[in-house]
Structure 1
Amino acid sequence: MKQSEIIKQLSDQELKKQVILSQLIILSAGVLLSLFFFGKFNEWLLYFQWNLYDIFLYGVIPGLIIVAIDLILILFVPEKYYDDGGINDRIFNNQPIHYIFFISLLTAVSEELLFRGVIQTSFGYLTASILFALVHFRYLKKPVLLISVLSVSFFIGYMFEITENLLVTITAHFVVDFLLGCVIRFKK
């Protein structure tokens, strides 16, 4: 059975639980793999730097740029090319802001810890960026979404290359997910 068919059979509540569960699995994988690849947990913590200038310049601003480009694409690209099977609509539509905040933060933290904090630092920028896109496998048969997620992955990965700061990439990822989640929530 295809993923889209399985998802259609889930209630909205079950889908929300699955999203949270999948992010907790990614978070756990990131933490466990960091122990394996770094030996000492505090070595990994060196990638967390509370540098507000970098967080704003390389996190917030790129996040806003990604959202602006995404909104322009939504306006000009036919909806069928940008449709993920209604999954994001089901996750974010009619949800309270605090839920969108929570799920966006959980996703940003878990995915960035794994893909930038472990995979990019251990296997490189290219590997991490491609694997990040592949994990979003529901986009693989949608060229516009695939190009979009690949571009975002390489862009955020590049911000990590520049700063070596996971708070930068978590911030950029959060800004994108939260703002686009709010767009879905308030559209119409």
Structure 2
Amino acid sequence: MKNKQAEIIKTLTDKELVFHLLLTQFILVVLSFLLGIFLFEDWAEFKSLFILDDKRIWTIGLPAGLLVVALDIFLMKVIPKHLYDDGGINERVFKCLSIPMLILVPLVIAFCEELLFRGVIQTHTGLAWASIIFAMVHYRYLFKWYLLVNMVVLSFFIGFIYSSTGNLMVSIMMHFIIDFLLGLIIRYRHLYQSSL
């Protein structure tokens, strides 16, 4: 199964890969709303997950995201490259994005994934189930022990931030910062290597 997925991905152009990534996010949003219809009593309960004027978005979500990125950069310097290699998918997605798209794509991913995994699943089944399902959905990481452990720990950390604050906007900010900054690093590393 892993090899079949890798072969399919190799046949896609970078733009097609980004398209399929965004399509997957759209499916997650649709799934969130369908599950939300059955799991939430009404729209007000669903809407209460989003507290826009909460300072913790900036005082907890932002620093937590920066901490994860700093730790990830450190680990990339000390751990052999083959352990955190996802088959080049992240590099293919982020190296070709313009700056506006480099903001938009991580924002879409953070919103869609947090809506489903924290807002819907964690709210109704708890931190453990949401974190395990989140890690499993990131299929390509299941076959690399380091990436799997990394994803599970990250998922529990984001889930902990959500359960501590009760505000989906805090976990969305954290998720966005992680994806945006790591995507920015990939893009500028690619531009630097291309200029040599």
What TM-score, normalized by structure 1, do the two folds share? 0.97
Distance change in 2, residues 1:17/1:94 (3 Å): closer
Match of 2:79 in 1: 77
Residues 63 and 176 in structure 1, CA contact (< 8 A), matched pair in contact too: yes
1:101 to 97, 100, 103: 103
Q: 2:140 corresponds to which letter in structure 1?
A: R
Partner of 1:166: 168
Amino acid at match of 1:109: F
1: CA distance between counterparts of 2:28 and 2:65? 21
The yes-or-no answer on 1:15 pairing with 2:22 is no
Identity of matched residues, %:
45
1:35 counterpart residue number:
37
User: What does residue 55 of structure 2 align with?
Assistant: 53
Are residue 183 (structure 1) and residue 185 (structure 2) matched? yes
Instruction: Write the distance in 1 (CA, Å) between the matches of 2:117 and 2:109.
Output: 12
Native 8 Å contact 2:14 2:96 kept in 1: no
CA distance in 1, matches of 2:96, 2:26: 23
Structure 1 counterpart of 2:27:
25
Structure 2 CA distance, aligned partners of 1:42 and 1:90?
A: 40
The separation in 2 between residues aligned to 1:148 and 1:110, in whole angstroms, is 20
1:143 paired residue number: 145
- Mind listing any 5+ residue stretches in structure 1 that lack a counterpart? none
The CA distance in 2 between the partners of 1:41 and 1:184, in whole Å, is 39
1:24-65 Cα distance to aligned partner (Å, 9 max, x none): 101111122112100312211111112442112220010000
SS at match of 2:175: helix
Cα separation, 2, equivalents of 1:47 and 1:12: 34
Aligned pairs, how many?
188
Letter in 2 for 1:157: G
**How big is the alpha-carbon RMSD for the aligned residues of Structure 1 and Structure 2?**
1.1
* Matched letter for residue 78 of structure 2: F
1:12 Cα offset (Å):
1.3
Deviation at 1:2, TM superposition (A): 1.4
Distance in 1, Cα, partners of 2:31 & 2:71: 31
Q: Which consecutive residues of structure 2, in runs of 5 or more, have no partner in the other structure?
A: none
CA distance in 2 between counterparts of 1:77 and 1:2 reads: 27
Contact 1:31–1:113 under 8 Å retained in 2: no
Letter in 1 for 2:125: F
Could you state the TM-score of these two structures normalised by the residue count of structure 2? 0.93
